[in-house]
């Protein structure tokens, strides 16, 4: 006799998913301190509409321009001044090598409106010997920083300073000094001038009475 057929098994009910247990935290006093959260500034996405309207209505910041008339005129003036200086420098070049002698540097500076003493010029040249002053030569590129030193030297005497200095020798108070007395002063006080230098300086300055009008 054959065995009875197997009985169908009833369908199994799905088992509900178990919720995982939350991890156990250590006690509060054993927990590490929480890191400080960085506060980021608000971006344009979260700025209020009033600020957005203000930004849109505000004019943009001006961009600095390097082609302003003031800068352009200053550069043009500097270029013109350098050209004048170089031309004056070239007038003293008697050899044709684009250089001048050490003993001509003071004269060039005076021709350019400066009034350095011979002592100052020698110091700028490095206190050369008499032979070096007579034989050594200098190019314009090396002369230019020396001229700049004289131009920017502090405490340079002004026209009023010279007038006040001459007024000391004005015994009559009439704006004149005696040429003979001025010659003595120039040859004996301060940086003494030679007789030929004094003659060149005084040429055309004395009137028929031998006086020099300094005002």
Compute the average pLDDT of residues 3-29. Answer: 66
Express each pLDDT in 31-51 by its tens digit. Answer: 655 555 444 444 444 444 344
Q: Quote the DSSP letter at residue 129.
A: -
**Region 61-66: what's the mean pLDDT?**
44
Q: Which CATH code, of 3.30.420.40, 3.40.640.10, 1.10.238.10, 3.40.50.1370, is assigned to 72-151? A: 1.10.238.10
Its pTM stands at: 0.45
pLDDT tens digits, one per residue of 149-194: 888 876 666 666 677 777 777 878 888 888 888 888 888 876 678 8
Q: What residues does CATH 1.10.238.10 cover in the chain?
A: 72-151, 159-213
* Residues with Cβ within 8 Å of residue 196, at least 6 apart in sequence: none
Q: What is the pLDDT of residues 71-121, one digit of tens each?
A: 666 666 777 888 888 898 999 998 999 999 999 999 898 888 888 888 889
Burial class (CB in 10 A: 0-12, 13-18, 19+), 37: exposed
Q: Write down the CATH superfamily of domain 159-213.
A: EF-hand (1.10.238.10)
In angstroms, rounded to a whole number, what is the distance separating the alpha carbons of residues 184 and 200?
15
Instruction: Please name the residue that has the structure tokens 């060039």.
Output: 108
């Amino acid at each position: 006799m054959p065995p009875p057929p197997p009985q169908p098994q009833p369908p199994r009910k799905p088992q509900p998913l178990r919720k995982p247990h939350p991890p156990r935290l250590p006690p509060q006093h054993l927990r590490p301190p929480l890191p400080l959260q960085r506060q980021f500034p608000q971006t344009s996405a979260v700025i209020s509409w009033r600020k957005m309207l203000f930004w849109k209505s505000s004019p943009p910041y001006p961009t600095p321009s390097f082609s302003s008339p003031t800068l352009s005129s200053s550069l043009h003036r500097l270029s013109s001044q350098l050209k004048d200086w170089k031309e004056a420098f070239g007038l003293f070049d008697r050899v044709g090598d684009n250089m001048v002698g050490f003993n001509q540097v003071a004269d060039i500076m005076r021709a350019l409106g400066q009034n350095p003493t011979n002592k100052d010029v020698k110091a700028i040249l490095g206190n050369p010997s008499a032979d070096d002053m007579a034989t050594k030569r200098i190019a314009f590129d090396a002369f230019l920083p020396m001229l700049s030193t004289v131009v920017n030297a502090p405490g340079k005497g002004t026209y009023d300073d010279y007038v006040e200095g001459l007024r000391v020798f004005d015994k009559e108070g009439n704006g004149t000094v005696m040429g003979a007395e001025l010659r003595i002063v120039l040859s004996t006080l301060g940086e003494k001038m030679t007789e030929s230098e004094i003659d060149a300086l005084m040429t055309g300055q004395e009137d028929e009475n031998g006086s020099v009008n300094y005002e």
